[in-house]
Amino acid sequence: MTDRPADRLLVRTVRTHLGRNILLTALCLVGAGAALLVPAAVAAAVDDRLGEQGSGAVWWLGGVVVFVALANVGTQMMTALCVADATVELRRRFLDRLLRLGTVERERFTTGDLTMRITSATGVAASVVTLPGRFLASVTVSGGALVALWWVDPRIACTFLAGVPAAFLLMKAFVGRATPVLDRQLAVQGKISGLLLEVLAGRRSVRSAGSEHREAARVLSLLPELRSVGRAMWDMQAKVSWQAGLLAPAMQVLVLATAGYALTTGGISPGSLLAASGYTLLALGLFEQVAVFMGLAQARAGAHRLTEIEDTPVMRYGNRDLPPGPGSVRFRGVGVHGPNGSLLSRVDLCVPGGTVVAVVGRSGAGKTLLAALAGRLRDPDEGVVEIDGVPVHELSAEALGEAVGWAFERPAHLGSSLADTIRFGNGELDLPTVVEAARRARADAFVRRLPQGYDTPPSEAPMSGGELQRLGLARAMAHRGRLLILDEAMSSLDSVTEHEISEVLDTALSDRTQIVLAHRMSRAARADLVLWLDGGRVRGFAPHSELLGRPGYRELFGSEEQNARHAPRATEAPDTEGYSHAVQAE
């Protein structure tokens, strides 16, 4: 089976730290050369002692053994270092690529599968750096041992060579069958990991539904397939093991029989007989190449898992900056297609700079998709989205990140402290600025109640859904972009807190263009304009008061308070998570 992309990745991996990898190969060769000296040293020591010629050869044997041990220790240490370096390099490279995947491309993989690829597959692929040294050492040892056998007695070498073709056919057949099985094994492990992460993420729902056993069974449902793959691998290994287990001793017996005959006829000395025995064992090291090729099959399987990420298109950026402007957003014939039809169809509209637009519609109407297009979390299949006249796909990542701020319904809080999570994507903010943003988002009070305050790591801060959203809003308050996109970022807040934060947004961020995904009538009533989506199409784009008279509009909000249309205009600056655009693909 050929897999050229995977092979190219393995070659690049070996070349990445070429100096260290060459040193590792050199150590392997030094160890191999030293190992070839051992049988000769043993033969010399035996012959010298039998001939009572002193102990010089014994000391020589001791020195060779010590040298072999030191070479092996150095090889093991350098092996660990080279594999670790290669693993880190692969993880850094593919994690960076993973973070640059668009939302659509990212959805091709489950979280668990990607976790397995980044953690497990990278380590498996990185093991390729040890294979050149192992292979050359194996060839050196077996080849050198064969030469030594010829030097001892050509008849012994010819006897050994008679079994070599069978050994190579055995190795070739095994590697050809092992590669697809190993690839399948990694794939099944990725699926199991994905199911496990899915269940762990929804553990409260699982517990509340009393479905622990059912979900455990679902996660473990792939174990029979994994067992089948493992059984296939074990069967292949067992087959090659007994075949090699028969072939290797048979070759050794034949060689020793030939050497014994040569000894009885006076062709070799007793020491040479011992040397022939030792060199036969070393020559049988050609079976070590089975392990080398097995390692190559494993490395190719891991590399194949990584190249599937590498072959997935990433979001490309331009090199343009935005000119000065108010943050107007224009959709020109924008459309997005799904597997079952259009998700958004021919959207043509302009959001004036500095206005608040509430996007409303039933579930599946395309609200989140439209917001993602505005901030370029994904690209449309047709049409163009512009910010202040510049197509968003022509902007550099830095320009886009500085212009567009985000807030999500379930914000991710990254960083080593709560202060850092507010700073995230907003540059180096001093602590007073961080505290002021938290105060505006009504997050300062609960943060100060934590034992470490703003120095509390996010993982150690017990927060409700509303508190998590307020912390995301604080990050948004610190963002200085011209366009803010608020994706249901206040859905978990109580009405009083939402009103207080909205009042702050009205005054503090009233100069920014805001796209607000809303499901409450009060939110729509506070906006300058309401974009009503229905089945991926624009059904209305007008002030809330004008849309109230349209059939079906009021029903979007159920029985929510009817006086919402009389609420004062509040420039709801969409809560923007201060994410740099490079990590906005949440």
CATH code for position 578: 3.40.50.300
Extended strands (E) in 11-70: none
Using only the alpha carbons of the chain, give its radius of gyration: 34
Residues 6+ apart with CB under 8 A from 462: none
CA dihedral 469, 474, 477, 483 (to 10 degrees): -40
The pLDDT, as a whole number, for residue 577 is 33
Q: Please report, rounded to a whole number, the percentage of residues in the chain having pLDDT higher than 90.
A: 27
Average pLDDT over residues 453-468: 89
Using an 8 Å Cβ cutoff, are 40 and 148 in contact?
yes
Q: Are residues 159 and 71 in the same domain?
A: yes
Number of Cβ atoms within 10 Å of the Cβ of 65: 15
What does the pLDDT look like over 490-530, one tens digit per residue? 888 888 888 888 778 777 778 889 898 988 888 888 889 99
Asked whether residue 466 is assigned to any structural domain, the reply reads no
Asked whether residue 244 is assigned to any structural domain, the reply reads yes
What residue numbers bound the domain in which 487 lies?
Answer: 329-411+483-583
The pLDDT confidence band at residue 463, using thresholds 50, 70 and 90, is confident
The pLDDT confidence band at residue 570, using thresholds 50, 70 and 90, is very low
Number of Cβ atoms within 10 Å of the Cβ of 168: 12
Q: Are residues 251 and 302 in the same domain?
A: yes
Is 0.75 topped by the overall pTM? no
The pLDDT, as a whole number, for residue 419 is 92
Extended strands (E) in 320-421: 329-338, 341-351, 356-360, 382-387, 390-391, 404-407
Alpha carbon distance 288, 281 (integer Å):
11
Average pLDDT over residues 292-308: 84
The pLDDT, as a whole number, for residue 585 is 31
Q: Are residues 495 and 393 in the same domain?
A: yes
The pLDDT, as a whole number, for residue 447 is 92
Indicate if the alpha-carbon torsion angle 11, 15, 20, 22 is positive or negative. Answer: positive
Asked whether residue 568 is assigned to any structural domain, the reply reads yes
User: Residue 492 has what DSSP assignment?
Assistant: T
Asked whether residue 432 is assigned to any structural domain, the reply reads no
Alpha carbon distance 24, 30 (integer Å):
10
Average pLDDT over residues 400-405: 90
Q: Are residues 245 and 366 in the same domain?
A: no
Kindly tell me the burial class for residue 446, based on how many C-beta atoms sit within 10 Å of its own C-beta (0-12, 13-18, 19 or more): middle
Average pLDDT over residues 375-381: 91
The pLDDT confidence band at residue 579, using thresholds 50, 70 and 90, is very low
**Is it the case that residue 86 has pLDDT exceeding 90?**
yes
CATH number of the domain residue 165 falls in: 1.20.1560.10
The pLDDT, as a whole number, for residue 340 is 82
Q: Is 100 helix (H, G, I), strand (E, B) or coil?
A: coil
Alpha carbon distance 38, 279 (integer Å):
9
Q: Are residues 100 and 26 in the same domain?
A: yes
Q: Are residues 140 and 281 in the same domain?
A: yes
Asked whether residue 422 is assigned to any structural domain, the reply reads no
Q: Are residues 141 and 253 in the same domain?
A: yes
Mean pLDDT of the chain, nearest integer: 81
The sheet that has 529-534: what strands, in order across it?
Answer: 404-407, 483-487, 513-517, 356-360, 529-534, 537-542
- Report helix angle 154-161 to 270-283, nearest 10: 20
What does the pLDDT look like over 10-58, one tens digit per residue? 999 999 888 888 999 999 888 888 887 777 777 777 766 665 565 667 7
Q: Which two tokens stand for residue 388?
A: 């202040």
What does the pLDDT look like over 408-420, one tens digit per residue? 888 888 888 999 9
The pLDDT confidence band at residue 231, using thresholds 50, 70 and 90, is confident
**Is it the case that residue 137 has pLDDT exceeding 90?**
no
Q: Are residues 187 and 280 in the same domain?
A: yes
Among the ranges 16-20, 238-242, 260-264, 530-534, which has the highest mean pLDDT value? 530-534
Span of 95-104, 256-265, 408-417 with lowest mean pLDDT: 256-265
The pLDDT, as a whole number, for residue 328 is 95
Alpha carbon distance 343, 349 (integer Å):
17
The pLDDT confidence band at residue 574, using thresholds 50, 70 and 90, is very low
Number of domains comprising the chain? 2
**Is it the case that residue 571 has pLDDT exceeding 50?**
no
Span of 351-355, 389-393, 424-428 with lowest mean pLDDT: 424-428
Using an 8 Å Cβ cutoff, are 391 and 313 in contact?
no
**Is it the case that residue 242 has pLDDT exceeding 90?**
no
Alpha carbon distance 404, 476 (integer Å):
10
